């Protein structure tokens, strides 16, 4: 009985890996043995960094909000506390966009946060 090699499926799998290695240099793009390891490593980095990208963008938004809030006389943490006290639910992405593109709207939101903090402090003193 002849030996069964499953050649079409094996060739398809190898070609798929080589195609994913497009843009790599040297043996890593032309030889299956090396491309296999390079592609596996790249996929691992891609999976990990999809999570890291979310973290990085949140840090950027926080920095932008803080930079826009300080000239208005309030820090980032106090601004977020004030927004929570005022019942304003706006995410950091939109808040950062307002801070960059519409400073008047951001200033109005910051003012509401300051007023809510003042009410919160007055209630704490009265209690």
**pLDDT at position 96 over 90:** yes
Residue 126 has pLDDT above 90, yes or no: no
**Contact 95/109 with Cβ under 8 angstroms?**
yes
Q: What is the mean pLDDT of residues 13-40?
A: 97
The region, left, alpha or beta by phi > 0 then psi within -120 to 50, assigned to residue 111 is alpha
User: Residue 2: its pLDDT value, please?
Assistant: 85
Q: What average pLDDT does the chain have? A: 96
Structure tokens at 99: 């801070």
Q: How confident is the model at residue 57 (pLDDT cuts 50, 70, 90)?
A: very high
Question: What domains does the chain contain, in order, with CATH numbers?
Answer: 11-51 (no CATH), 61-126 (1.10.1900.20)
CB atoms within 10 A of CB 74: 19
pLDDT of amino acid 101: 97
pTM of the model: 0.79
Report which of 89, 88, 82, 93 is spatially closest to residue 119, judged by C-alpha positions: 82
pLDDT of 1 strictly over 90: no
CA distances from 54 to 50, 59, 77 (A): 7, 9, 20
In the predicted structure, residue 9 carries a pLDDT above the cut 80: yes
Which structure tokens are listed for 12? 């398809």
* Rounded Cα gap, residues 85 and 79, in angstroms: 10
The answer on pLDDT for 118 being more than 80 is yes
Task: Classify burial at 35, counting beta carbons within 10 Å of its beta carbon; exposed 0-12, middle 13-18, buried 19 or more.
Answer: buried
């Amino acid at each position: 009985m002849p030996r069964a090699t499953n050649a079409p499926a094996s060739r398809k799998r190898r070609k798929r890996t080589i195609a994913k290695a497009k843009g790599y240099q040297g043996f890593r793009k032309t030889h299956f043995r090396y491309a296999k390891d390079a592609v596996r490593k790249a996929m691992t980095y891609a999976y990990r960094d999809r999570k890291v990208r979310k973290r990085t963008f949140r840090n950027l938004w926080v920095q932008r909000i803080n930079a826009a809030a300080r000239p208005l006389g309030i820090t980032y943490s106090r601004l977020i506390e004030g927004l929570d006290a005022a019942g304003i639910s706006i995410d950091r992405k939109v808040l950062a966009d307002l801070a960059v593109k519409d400073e008047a709207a951001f200033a109005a939101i910051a003012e509401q946060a300051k007023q809510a903090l003042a009410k919160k402090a007055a209630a704490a003193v009265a209690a």
